[in-house]
Amino acid sequence: MACVGGDETFGRFVGHPFVDLLESRLEKTCVNLGSLFNGIEALSLDAGMLRIVNDAELCVLQLPSVLSQSNHFYRVHPRRNDRFLEPTRDLLSLYPDVDFTEVHFVRHLLARLQTHSDARIEAVAQELSSAWVLGMRSFLERVTAPVLLLWLHVNDQDVWEDAGPTERDLVPVTQSMVDQMRPQCVGCVELQVQTAGASEELEDAMFGSLQQPMALHCLGPSAH
């Protein structure tokens, strides 16, 4: 079994990610292909990962963030898909009143655009959703192994408190988007999980003293 995904699949700050637990329970080899900060773009560009996936009996694919992808409005880093590189002419034309020079992450970009509270953000959200479905379906066409989608709903609100919406809330994956991929998959597992900060199990996570702010927003051991 090959498990593909982002931070949650990788198991950042936990000793035994769910991939390890699956291997022990199923008594079958489970390869952890999770990587930090990835999105559709990083998945699509990793030919080595795709070869491993296509040799597996089953691929568990965690749905990536909708924000972490290049699209008609902005470009992201090819490997660290959470990093905003530059706006396109379309975004500059749509938001001539926004200064993008100090924006470095896609979450910050979308949060800044949302502060304008007008209809323009709907055009951006629609483009992101459409590009995400197109990118996911294109990736699935290249996967020959059966694919089981893993759709995680991560509760992080207790940690963010009044800091505003999280990246997952800005442009969320919707049921309609997932339904468009179902013909290419054998199924979809949908789970509600909490971060280590929200579940108050930070003390069970593994991190250095300077990594605590990041560990708060990652899944704790019990979620895995």
What confidence category does residue 162 fall into, taking pLDDT thresholds of 50, 70 and 90?
very low
Helices (runs of H) and strands (runs of E) counted in the chain? 11, 7
CA of 216: how far to CAs of 8, 10, 38, 198, in Å? 13, 16, 19, 8
Averaged confidence pLDDT in the chain: 89
| 115-139 pLDDT tens trace | 987 899 999 999 999 999 999 999 9
| 169-210 pLDDT tens trace | 689 999 999 999 999 999 999 999 888 666 566 666 666 666
Q: Do residues 107 and 165 touch, judged by C-beta distance below 8 A?
A: no
- The pTM assigned to this predicted structure is 0.88
**Architecture, CATH, for domain 2-215:** 3-Layer(aba) Sandwich (3.40)
pLDDT at 27 over 50: yes
Torsion angle, alpha carbons of 80, 84, 86, 88, to 10: 100
Residue 122: which residues within 8 A CB-CB, separation 6 or more?
Answer: none
